[in-house]
Amino acid sequence: MNKTDKNIPVYIDEYDYSLPDERIAKFPLPRRDASKLLLYKNKSISESTFSRIADFLPENSLLVYNNTRVIQARLVFFKETGARIEVFCLEPLKPSDYALSLGATSQCDWKCMVGNLKKWKEGILSKLVEIDGKTFSLNAQFMASEGNTHSIHFSWDNHDIHFAEILEKAGELPIPPYLNRKTEESDLITYQTVYSKIKGSVAAPTAGLHFTSEVFESLKTKNIGTVELTLHVGAGTFQPVKTETVNEHHMHTEVISVQKDTIEHLLQKTGNVIAVGTTSVRTLESLYYIGLKLRMNPDNTDFHIPQWMPYEIQDEISTDEALQSILDYLNNNNLKYLHADTQIMIKPGYRFRLVNGMITNFHQPKSTLLLLVSAFVDGQWKEIYDYALSNDFRFLSYGDSSLLLT
């Protein structure tokens, strides 16, 4: 039985620290793997450079990274009055599948955040887009609101053009708001990992920004394996916890996809799994609970992991049993991918099931990502962050990295 009680209050003020603006990396280093690397193992802290990370990974490790690719999700429209309306696409609604929605050729609906919404109470916004020498109109129609997000219907009068092409041409890459600058041409390359390929994120899985082809070669020479999965990072990753306790915070939901081959590799390497980034951590840990659902009911097709499920379960199985249950499901249904979504909250007191180490950047104060790190290092996050602040580490998305090992 999982003895961690979700009702034990975790006060967010205990996860605050002073982060001077000058410590936030506004741009990446010229070379990705030249960033500093903080090493945390057995409560001991040291440092090196990311280019040497293979030297510090345990033998027989399996690195798991997130292959999601950031889409140019911010669209700017102007009303006839001149009012600027910014529409930030968060996730597809109709079709709800990312690939289908990005591949739509005439219309689609997305959940969006809208800047200057008060100036857009009715009517259709339009902008001209030119692709391959042909100009057409992209229209946006407000449909409904739910909290601080809104359903927007997009349509365009060129049926040879996919929505993904429209975003690539007319959209802006949504770099993090805390960079306090506009997106630059260089961000189109530097704010993507070198292995990104599955379009759908509105934020990069930034732990992976440090990897280079040379680093991957060094992993091979150390016989360290790598596998990929997909979690499309939502804008919720930037949302600080604004409630007094974490228990009152509503965790965002993110879409995940994992290949059958990845599940097989994980099953062979349990006890040696290193997650590249918090998004990979959330995906890997969610797999355990998906496997538990299938173990309890092999016909289950509800692969949503609610925020508090890890703290409410009464049943418990081994990690191997959970992964095998997923494999059995995929094999029995002749599937090559597991598709699911997760709202999992990893906070202090959480018991990690799959992840034995993680590579991650340095996160914002009072963020769910900092809570996740604290949970992994048994509350030693202050010592780690004090070291980083005292030793000139660069913070947040374009900042330096850390390798945390249990």
Report the CATH number at residue 243.
Answer: 3.40.1780.10
Helices (H), 90-178: 98-102, 163-170
Q: Is the pLDDT of residue 5 over 70?
A: no
147 vs 54, more confident: 54
Residue 181 resides in a domain:
no
Q: Is the pLDDT of residue 238 over 80?
A: no
Residues 230 and 325 in one domain: yes
Host domain of residue 42: 12-69+189-405
Residue 214 resides in a domain:
yes
293 touches 321 (CB < 8 A): no
Residue 245 resides in a domain:
yes
Residue 6 resides in a domain:
no
Residues 81 and 206 in one domain: no
Q: Is the pLDDT of residue 57 over 70?
A: yes
Q: Is the pLDDT of residue 1 over 50?
A: no
**pLDDT confidence band for 159 (50 / 70 / 90):** confident
Average confidence (pLDDT) over 101-114: 95
CA distance 2 to 187: 43
Residue in this structure with the two tokens 């006060």, named with its chain if needed: 11
CA distance 107 to 113: 18
Please tell me the predicted confidence (pLDDT) of residue 6.
Answer: 67
Residue 184 resides in a domain:
no
**pLDDT confidence band for 234 (50 / 70 / 90):** confident
Residues 228 and 337 in one domain: yes
Average confidence (pLDDT) over 132-159: 92
Residues 119 and 37 in one domain: no
Of 158-162, 306-310, 377-381, the one with minimum mean pLDDT is 158-162
Residue 53 resides in a domain:
yes
Average confidence (pLDDT) over 78-84: 90
Average confidence (pLDDT) over 49-63: 97
Give the N- to C-terminal CA distance of the chain in Å, as an integer: 22
Helix (H, G, I), strand (E, B), or coil: what is residue 391? coil
Per-residue pLDDT tens over the stretch 285-338? 999 999 999 999 999 999 999 999 999 987 789 999 999 999 999 999 999 999
Element (H, E) at 324: helix 319-332
Residues 368 and 278 in one domain: yes
Q: What is the pTM of this model?
A: 0.93
Residues 34 and 93 in one domain: no
Residues 267 and 361 in one domain: yes
Q: Is the pLDDT of residue 376 over 70?
A: yes
Domain total of the chain: 2
Please tell me the predicted confidence (pLDDT) of residue 2.
Answer: 43
146 vs 405, more confident: 405
**pLDDT confidence band for 9 (50 / 70 / 90):** confident
Please tell me the predicted confidence (pLDDT) of residue 235.
Answer: 77
Mean pLDDT score of the chain: 94
Please tell me the predicted confidence (pLDDT) of residue 3.
Answer: 44
Residue 347 resides in a domain:
yes
